[in-house]
Amino acid sequence: MPSGTVHVVGAGIAGLAAAVRLAERDHHVIVHEQARQAGGRCRSYFDAAVGLMIDNGNHLVLSGNHAVRDFLQTIGSEHALEGPTQAEFPFIDLKSGERWTVRPNEGAFPWWILSRAHRVPGSKARDYLRLLPLLWAGASARVGETIACRGLLYERLWRPFLLAALNIEPAEASAQLAGAVIRETLAKGGEACRPLIATEGLSSAFVEPARRYIEEHGGGVLLDRRLRAIGRESERVTDLDFGEAKITLSPDDAVILAVPARGAEMLIPEIEAPSEFNAIVNAHFRVAPPRGTPLMQGVVNGLVEWLFAFPDRLSVTISGADRLIDTPREGLAADIWAEVAEMTGLGPDMPPWQIVKERRATFSATPDEDSKRPAAATNWVNLVLAGDWTQTGLPATLEGAVRSGNIAADLVIARNSALSAPGIK
């Protein structure tokens, strides 16, 4: 086992993924988290208004998100994600009342676009090929400059899909980030885009098993521990100031800073990081979903974008939701419920509800903001960055967060093995 300790600051999914990977490779790791619970933007909590454990936001994983799935396998939680055995995405158009299900076939050759039963009604096979330029877009191109952001197929499939992945109106988004998501999921066929959901909650799928894994491997996750300052010399960071606790780093210790972009910039002003963010609004209603309600369905021509059916509640996701941040919650809940009632056949009486507004859910996935994302390695040999906002090549997603944690851990592991090589200290 390497002699030093790796201090991971931030117990979001990036920090937990880094810590798990380090623990797996026999490193001594301590995670420091400012909140009273781990998980960051991916967490569950008891909500008194609905009287249930709910998630801060519905999180969708696709089966092509390999880093997430490997992470879950390592922590023994791979069965916590549920979804259909084949890729299928039910949709409803609230304006026309039409319903359809998109069913990409397994395998990379997309014969599903040739089949009326599998593709979007009213679309033609050749319409799907118009998405291809996103796969080779340059770093400065927006989606709206690369493909036509209009038409039936765009409104019924590409806009909902890209809005969910990028959390910004797709026309404004980085074409390169959109291309990366498509390359890793849709372009690989149905096997890579089966929707997966943590039906028992985010914390029991992602957070608590990770925490147990770290502890069982001799490490720890310390809550209520906010890093206030990082002492540094020209080449290395020297100490961590948690207020009452101060840690002086030994030459063998390392630090992974896995806090959100704004926090990282405040701690280390030399770091350039994205500075614009987009919101996500979730609405949760305590009601058993009517029999036959799909686990997840997309909505077009509505305020609702996705409806998730958990055993004890219906939950709605609205992405790129900055326009709703100042909307009074009661009216918003009523408007959302009216659509949910229409979709599910439930009556107009609104069940107990909660609205969760995450103002800074993700960095803005525009070319400008993407260009500000730093690499994991820093100017200080023993300080590495992690987080969905660092340069992963993906938008701010769980897959990006886990990958950033893996990259950070691998840098520390490489440094430690160089340090322990004969003659190097």
Ligand X SMILES: Cc1cc2nc3c(=O)[nH]c(=O)nc-3n(C[C@H](O)[C@H](O)[C@H](O)COP(=O)(O)OP(=O)(O)OC[C@H]3O[C@@H](n4cnc5c(N)ncnc54)[C@H](O)[C@@H]3O)c2cc1C
User: What's the gap between Cα 29 and its chain centre?
Assistant: 24
**Pair of tokens at residue 181:** 């998501």
Match 């989606």 to its residue by tokens: 143
CB of 269 to ligand X, least distance (A): 14
CB of 19 to ligand X, least distance (A): 11
Q: How far apart are the C-alpha atoms of 358 and 333, rounded to whole Å?
A: 15
Kindly tell me which residue out of 388, 403, 407, 412 binds ligand X, with binding defined by CB under 6 A. 388
Kindly tell me which residue out of 6, 8, 9, 332 binds ligand X, with binding defined by CB under 6 A. 9
Q: Indicate the residue among 41 and 118 with the shorter CB distance to ligand X.
A: 41
Does 370 participate in binding ligand X (rule CB under 6 A)? no
3-state secondary structure of 15: helix
Q: Indicate the residue among 189 and 263 with the shorter CB distance to ligand X.
A: 263
Q: Indicate the residue among 57 and 179 with the shorter CB distance to ligand X.
A: 57
CB of 92 to ligand X, least distance (A): 19
Q: Indicate the residue among 49 and 266 with the shorter CB distance to ligand X.
A: 266
CB of 167 to ligand X, least distance (A): 7
CB of 221 to ligand X, least distance (A): 11
Q: Indicate the residue among 298 and 387 with the shorter CB distance to ligand X.
A: 387
C-beta of residue 387 within 8 angstroms of C-beta of residue 264: yes
- Binding footprint of ligand X, residue count (CB under 6 A): 37
Q: How far apart are the C-alpha atoms of 248 and 242, rounded to whole Å?
A: 11
- In sequence order, which residues have a C-beta less than 8 Å from that of residue 1 and are 6 or more positions away? 26, 27, 28
C-beta of residue 358 within 8 angstroms of C-beta of residue 279: yes
CB of 113 to ligand X, least distance (A): 25
Kindly tell me which residue out of 394, 401, 408, 411 binds ligand X, with binding defined by CB under 6 A. 401
Here the contacts of 108-116 (C-beta below 8 Å, separation 24 or greater) are 108/187, 108/188, 108/189, 109/189, 110/189, 112/190
Q: Among the candidate windows 72-80, 84-92, 211-219, 358-366, which touches ligand X by CB under 6 A?
A: 358-366
Kindly tell me which residue out of 2, 179, 263, 374 binds ligand X, with binding defined by CB under 6 A. 263
CB of 150 to ligand X, least distance (A): 25
Q: Among the candidate windows 5-13, 143-151, 243-251, 268-276, which touches ligand X by CB under 6 A?
A: 5-13
DSSP character string of 237-288: EEEEEETTEEEEPPTT-EEEE-S-HHHHHHH-TT------EEEEEEEEE-SP
CB of 319 to ligand X, least distance (A): 8
**Per-residue binding letters, 295-334, with ligand X (x by CB under 6 A):** ----------------------------------------
Q: Interaction with ligand X in 15-74: which residues (CB under 6 A)?
A: 15, 32-35, 40-42, 56-57, 59-61
CB of 43 to ligand X, least distance (A): 8
Q: How far apart are the first and last CA of the chain?
A: 16
Kindly tell me which residue out of 127, 184, 208, 358 binds ligand X, with binding defined by CB under 6 A. 358
Q: Interaction with ligand X in 195-254: which residues (CB under 6 A)?
A: 226-227
Element holding 306 (H helix, E strand): strand 306-310
C-beta of residue 260 within 8 angstroms of C-beta of residue 226: no
Q: Indicate the residue among 227 and 273 with the shorter CB distance to ligand X.
A: 227
Nearest one of 389, 344, 355, 352 to 369, comparing CA atoms: 389
For the four alpha carbons of 317, 323, 329 and 332, in that order, the dihedral sign comes to: negative
Kindly tell me which residue out of 398, 408, 409, 412 binds ligand X, with binding defined by CB under 6 A. 398
What is the edge-to-edge ordering of all strands in the sheet holding 237-242?
229-232, 237-242, 245-248
Q: Indicate the residue among 26 and 270 with the shorter CB distance to ligand X.
A: 270
For the four alpha carbons of 106, 112, 114 and 115, in that order, the dihedral sign comes to: positive
List residues binding ligand X (CB under 6 A).
9-15, 32-35, 40-42, 56-57, 59-61, 226-227, 258-260, 263, 280, 282, 358, 361-362, 387-388, 396-399, 401
